[in-house]
Amino acid sequence: MSALSNLLIPAVLFFALGFLARAIKSDLRVPQDLAKVLSIYLLMAIGLHGGYELGKAELGTAVNSVLWAIILGFVLPLIGYALLCLTKRVKTMDAAAIAAHYGSVSAGTFLTAIAFLDNLGISYESYPLIMLAVMESPAIIIGLLLASWSRQRMVATTTVSGGAAVMGNDNGTGNGHMSGILREAFTNGSVILLIGSMVIGAISSSSSMSKLFPFINEIFMGVLCLFLFEMGMEAARRIKEFRKVGGVLIAFGLIMPLIGGLLGIAVGHFALGLSEGGITLVAVLGASASYIAVPPAMRLAVPEANPSFYLTLSLGITFPFNVVVGIPLYHYLATLIAA
């Protein structure tokens, strides 16, 4: 019962409203660029806020959390890829692209978790925020490596001359392509905005930062409501493609966040020694799947994979699962392990 009342926060309820509006085919529409504008605001506000807090934090733990964020970002896609390949029902290129999404993070889920913790009055450290910024890039890189490895394996197993010629062509431009994508992984818009805002928040004087508090604190939850409202509609639209995706992938979209969440809890508790709130946030980082930075990167770098698979999974299945079931569950497990 208390788990249910924890979900009765406006941000989650607006997510449900957006979902419902789309499910009952309401004519409700939001302006086309609203979600893009809101996500810029959210990244900027959370970056400034976190940077301000980090200015007061310990360097050692900060470096440690960056290290663990990179490890999580590399390990999670490998687990996901292995799981998907073991099912033998998913094409390897699809598996590589999907796995990359699960190593990366969803800022929307992370912010919902913050709203959840705020609602319960639980404090949390600012270290998970650096991890949020760091985890976008490693997952993209490992996804690319998995994809090019699968591509080579495919070439090795195909003896069809036509196929080999196309692949050969690919490899010829492969290097320039790869470096371009790597550059993209690190210069990705959301990574730059988040890290840049954190730096600004950390080095700005306290008095000038306090003038920004209405912008980054007071209106934050309201904007998050708007954003989740829109994302609820997007999730409902994606979930319609359920049937196309198939049972194996749906099961993956529900099991993978649990694995990531448990790994996140372990990292938050044993490696970083965070509080119950901090552990919950690291769990959410491990559990969530990207739908901002990774999909365009995969679309560009792994054209062989079907975008509707990875988008349906990350946005239509894992995101709602984390918002409704995952966050309270990870928090419950975090309280158990922290106690």
Cβ partners under 8 Å of residue 147, min gap 6: 93, 96, 97, 301, 302, 304, 305
User: 3-class SS at 91?
Assistant: coil
Q: Which of 6, 155, 259, 299 binds another protein (CB under 8 A)?
A: 299
Segment contacting another protein by CB under 8 A, of 16-24, 29-37, 122-130, 219-227:
29-37
Site string for another protein, 232-271 (x = CB under 8 A): --x--x---x------------------------------
User: Per CB under 8 A, which of residues 159..178 are in contact with another protein?
Assistant: 166, 169-170
Residue ranges of alpha helices (H) inside the chain are 2-6, 10-23, 34-54, 59-86, 92-103, 107-120, 127-134, 136-157, 161-187, 189-203, 206-213, 220-239, 242-245, 247-266, 276-287, 294-301, 307-311, 319-321, 327-338
By CB under 8 A, residue 94 contacts another protein: no
By CB under 8 A, residue 37 contacts another protein: no
| Single-letter amino acid, residue 302 | V
By CB under 8 A, residue 32 contacts another protein: yes
First-to-last alpha carbon distance for the chain, in angstroms, is 21
Segment contacting another protein by CB under 8 A, of 45-53, 114-122, 289-297, 324-332:
289-297
Q: Which of 221, 306, 335, 337 binds another protein (CB under 8 A)?
A: 306
Site string for another protein, 197-236 (x = CB under 8 A): ---------------------------------x---x--
By CB under 8 A, residue 63 contacts another protein: no
By CB under 8 A, residue 307 contacts another protein: yes
The radius of gyration of the chain's CA atoms, rounded to the nearest angstrom, is: 20
CA dist., res. 287 & res. 281, Å (int): 10
Q: Which is nearer to another protein, 147 or 202 (CB)?
A: 147
Q: Do residues 143 and 294 lie in contact, with contact meaning Cβ atoms separated by under 8 Å?
A: yes
User: Would you tell me which residues interact with another protein (CB under 8 A)?
Assistant: 30, 32, 35-36, 166, 169-170, 230, 234, 237, 241, 291-292, 295-296, 299-300, 303-304, 306-308, 311-312
